[in-house]
């Protein structure tokens, strides 16, 4: 919690803060509004759409088939489409293959299903390193992919955006679609995490 342990903000962050301060001072912006909007798009609204897609695919085999055959159409079927999601391809993670998504050129990201990209997704180290040493990068995210699982890196671009369909965790048999959607995280749909049953690891500590 101590301020003294936090990194100094980046130049861009400082610039944004400065703009925010001016807008607040001129009473154009309500205090906290920017943080709320960013949080809404980055963590709440955006990835919740993708989570609904994943939960549906986990519980409806026919839907999953359509989703993998034509991501754009099947995602539209759930009501999600638009800017930065005009052409979608869904990559299914299996016990043998783990997919992870990047945009090596800039920060292409499927807005209609994931919202705004997290900051790390836009950084040069992630964009370059995940292609060269995906296992090492995933490990830094806390995800150690077993050696017998193949890691495939997909590079997004202007025309094409990817959504990872994570594996359904063991122990979720009989769960409702709504309950399943709750455990689908943003990072699991980028491929830098896997879905877990909450508290499944606890008790070991």
Q: How far is the CB of 108 from Co ion (least distance, A)?
A: 3
Q: How far is the CB of 62 from Co ion (least distance, A)?
A: 33
Residue with smaller CB distance to Co ion, 55 or 103: 103
Q: How far is the CB of 121 from Co ion (least distance, A)?
A: 10
Alpha-carbon distance of 42 to 119, in angstroms, equals: 9
Question: Which residue is associated with the tokens 């890196």?
Answer: 153
Residue of 10, 21, 106, 139 marked catalytic:
106
Residue with smaller CB distance to Co ion, 157 or 176: 157
Residue with smaller CB distance to Co ion, 38 or 105: 105
Q: Which residues contact 91 (CB under 8 A, 6 or more apart)?
A: 99, 101, 152, 154, 162, 163, 164, 165, 191
Count the site residues for Co ion by CB under 5 A.
4
β-bridge mates for residue 165, sequence order:
92
Return the SS3 of 110.
coil
Q: Which residues contact 36 (CB under 8 A, 6 or more apart)?
A: none
β-bridge mates for residue 33, sequence order:
none
123 near Co ion (CB under 5 A): no
List the x/- string, 91-120, binding to Co ion by CB under 5 A.
Answer: ------------x-xx-x------------
- Length of the chain as a residue count: 205
Q: How far is the CB of 111 from Co ion (least distance, A)?
A: 12
For CA atoms 89, 91, 151, 124, give the dihedral sign: positive
10 is catalytic: no
What would you measure as the largest C-alpha separation in the chain, in angstroms? 58
Residue with smaller CB distance to Co ion, 58 or 126: 126
103 is catalytic: yes
**Which residues would be at the binding site for Co ion (CB under 5 A)?**
103, 105-106, 108
* Residues labelled catalytic: 103, 106-108
């Amino acid at each position: 919690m101590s301020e003294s342990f936090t990194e100094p903000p980046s130049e861009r962050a400082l610039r944004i803060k400065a703009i925010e301060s001016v807008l607040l001072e001129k009473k154009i912006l309500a205090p906290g509004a920017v943080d709320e909007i960013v949080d809404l798009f980055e963590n709440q609204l955006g990835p919740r759409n993708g989570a609904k897609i994943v939960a549906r695919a986990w519980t409806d085999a026919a839907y999953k088939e359509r989703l993998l055959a034509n991501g754009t159409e099947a995602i539209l079927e759930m009501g999600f489409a638009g800017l930065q999601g005009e052409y979608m391809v869904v990559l299914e993670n299996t016990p043998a293959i783990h997919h992870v998504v990047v945009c090596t050129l800039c920060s292409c990201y499927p807005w209609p299903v994931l919202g705004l990209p997290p900051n790390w997704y836009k950084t040069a180290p992630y964009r370059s390193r995940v292609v060269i040493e995906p296992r090492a990068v995933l490990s830094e995210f806390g995800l150690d992919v077993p050696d017998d699982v193949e890691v495939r890196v997909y590079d997004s671009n202007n025309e094409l955006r990817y959504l990872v369909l994570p594996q359904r965790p063991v122990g979720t048999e009989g769960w409702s679609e709504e309950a399943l959607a709750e455990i689908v995280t943003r990072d699991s749909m980028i491929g830098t995490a896997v879905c877990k049953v909450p508290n499944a690891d606890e008790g070991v500590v």
